[in-house]
């Protein structure tokens, strides 16, 4: 539990929610708990344009037809208000004209006591746009889904035969997909088995790859065969951190500098506030970066088997609320929970250097005779090719000096229910090759920001969970195993494509396997 500051209390109010109710039924606005679970014990008053309304003039709409007078809040210990939930306050008063209106709300909570929210919001003309059908009581019921399917067909003039067919209970999608109408069936091909010699993943693994790109599965399968003939791929997780990066704004650079020193001194108290929000998230350290009059704090957490972006956002929010309430130095003029310094869903150099998600290394020693017999290339050819490619990657400013790690990562992400947008970060790679004194090829790749999960997100959905079960990556403590498998798959793809380009088989392979014209 943390103490919400006045700056953060404003976030309870849902901006844009102020509206007149039909048939002169009054005025309403919404609150969403973006802070921490509390019990709402009393609403003292709401003031709109300075006009005060007591609890006898207010009702609380909890959704699904559950509407209660505000005067009943004190009964039975109040009303549970969990994080992420919304309520609508209905005010029994005259309609408001279009334009801006100041709104003040005074209320009581357990455990925080009396709180006050002060905002401005606008009454705007009703939106007359066409809207996708939505059923508030149960938006995943068959009737709701069929209504959207009919809407899509009527709106587009098209009939949909395949999108509307699926084999799971749509209610399982709550929290994963809104306005559900059907599925996109992505083909899954099998590659491998791949022998992984990891600390967490040990043995032979059959790899599901969801893709529409011809030759991808065949190429990765070829690389896996080569690694297996050389004893498998050695994989090691060498780092683990998920970030949220708030920024604090001051009047000048000195204020930002002094603040950063205070944060360093208070790290134990900040850690306590952050970790109080989760049984899993652990604050490892905070990096501070100063520029102009801004203090950027990069919170680094471990997040168990979850990818953890939402988890660390909540934990960082709690920590920052404590900071805002307790810092006694130069005034903090503004605060944003994310400053773009975590580079969520974006490739960045800081993630290459400092890690985001899992930092994993996959490496293998490929025998000369295996390379020559199977790939028609020598270790010298591939090592030299790698040097030439390094120059190209450097000149282009790429975040990867390898060839196509995004291919294998994306195909595995789709198959196993990962957040596919994280490929933007996860595709970064540092590849290295050398000819050994014995004349063989050492090849390795470091993936510095592999964002994966075996719990939460889409990993529990029907087909995605089946693919994770295929890999033996369900249940507690399996995320590092999955990360090692992904890294091994990536190295197989790098080896296969490098050999194809060096031996001039690349184009002919695509012509043979990838044509769909």
CA distance 353 to 135: 47
| CA-wise closest residue to 489 among 425, 411, 419 | 411
DSSP letter for each residue of 471-489: TT--STT-HHHHHHHHHHH
CA distance 382 to 242: 35
Q: Chain-centre distance of CA 159, in angstroms? A: 34
Pairing state between β 58-61 and 202-210:
unpaired
Distances (CA, A) of 302 to 93, 283, 319, 478: 50, 7, 16, 14
**Residue of 36, 305, 363, 419 marked catalytic:** 419
Which helix or strand (DSSP H or E) is residue 358 part of?
A: strand 357-366
CA angle 99, 101, 106 (to 5 degrees): 160
Residue pair 362/369 in contact (Cβ under 8 Å)? The answer is: no
- Our answer to whether residue 204 is catalytic in this structure is no
**Residue of 44, 61, 110, 213 marked catalytic:** 213
**Residue of 44, 61, 258, 510 marked catalytic:** 510
Which burial class, exposed, middle or buried, applies to 211 when counting CB atoms under 10 A from its CB (0-12, 13-18, 19+)? buried
Which helix or strand (DSSP H or E) is residue 263 part of?
A: helix 253-265
- Our answer to whether residue 92 is catalytic in this structure is no
Q: For 465, what's the count of Cα atoms within 13 Å in the CB-facing half-sphere?
A: 13
3-state secondary structure of 480: helix
Catalytic amino acids?
A: 213, 419, 510
């Amino acid at each position: 539990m943390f103490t919400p500051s006045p700056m953060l209390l404003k976030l309870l109010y849902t901006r844009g929610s102020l509206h007149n109710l039909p048939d002169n039924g009054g005025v309403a606005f919404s609150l969403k708990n973006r802070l921490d679970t509390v019990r709402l014990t009393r609403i003292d008053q709401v003031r709109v344009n300075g006009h005060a309304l007591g609890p006898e003039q207010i009702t609380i709409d909890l959704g699904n037809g559950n509407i209660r007078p505000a005067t009943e809040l004190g009964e039975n210990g109040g009303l549970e208000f969990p994080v992420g939930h919304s309520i609508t306050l209905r005010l029994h008063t005259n309609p408001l004209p279009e334009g801006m209106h100041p709104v003040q709300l005074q209320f009581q909570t357990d455990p925080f006591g009396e709180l006050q929210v002060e905002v401005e919001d606008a009454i705007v003309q009703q939106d007359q746009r066409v809207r996708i059908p939505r059923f508030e009581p149960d938006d995943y019921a068959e009737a709701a889904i069929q209504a959207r399917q009919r809407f899509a067909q009527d709106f587009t003039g098209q009939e949909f035969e395949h999108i509307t067919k699926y084999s799971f209970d749509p209610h399982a999608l709550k929290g994963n997909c809104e306005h559900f109408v059907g599925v996109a069936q992505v083909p899954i091909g099998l590659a491998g088995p791949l022998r992984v010699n990891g600390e967490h993943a040990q043995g032979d693994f059959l790899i599901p790859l969801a893709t529409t790109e011809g030759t991808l599965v065949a190429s990765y399968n070829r690389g896996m065969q080569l690694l297996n003939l050389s004893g498998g791929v050695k994989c090691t997780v060498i780092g683990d951190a998920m970030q949220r990066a708030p920024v604090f704004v001051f009047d000048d650079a000195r204020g930002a500098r002094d603040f950063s020193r205070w944060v360093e001194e208070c790290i134990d108290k900040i850690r306590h506030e952050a970790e109080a929000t989760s049984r899993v998230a652990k604050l490892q350290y905070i990096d501070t970066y100063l520029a102009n009059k801004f203090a950027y704090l990069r919170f680094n957490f471990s997040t168990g088997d979850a990818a953890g972006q939402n988890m660390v956002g909540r934990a960082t929010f709690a920590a920052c609320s404590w900071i805002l309430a307790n810092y006694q130095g130069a005034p903090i003029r503004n605060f944003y929970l994310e400053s773009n310094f975590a580079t969520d869903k974006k490739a960045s150099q800081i993630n290459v250097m400092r890690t985001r998600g899992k930092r994993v290394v996959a490496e293998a020693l490929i025998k000369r005779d295996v390379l020559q017999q199977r790939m028609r290339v020598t270790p010298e050819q591939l090592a030299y090719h790698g040097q030439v490619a390094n120059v190209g990657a450097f000149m282009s400013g790429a975040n990867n000096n390898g060839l196509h790690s995004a291919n294998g990562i994306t195909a595995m992400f789709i198959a196993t229910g990962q957040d596919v947008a994280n490929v933007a970060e996860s595709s970064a790679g540092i590849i290295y090759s050398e000819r050994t004194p014995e004349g063989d090829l050492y090849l390795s790749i470091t993936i510095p920001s592999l964002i994966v999960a075996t719990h939460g997100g889409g990993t529990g959905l029907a087909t995605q969970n089946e693919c994770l079960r295929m890999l033996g990556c369900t249940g507690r403590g399996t995320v590092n195993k999955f990360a090692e498998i992904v890294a091994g798959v990536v190295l197989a793809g790098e080896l296969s494509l490098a050999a194809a380009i060096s031996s001039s088989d690349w184009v002919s392979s695509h012509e043979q396997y990838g044509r769909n014209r």
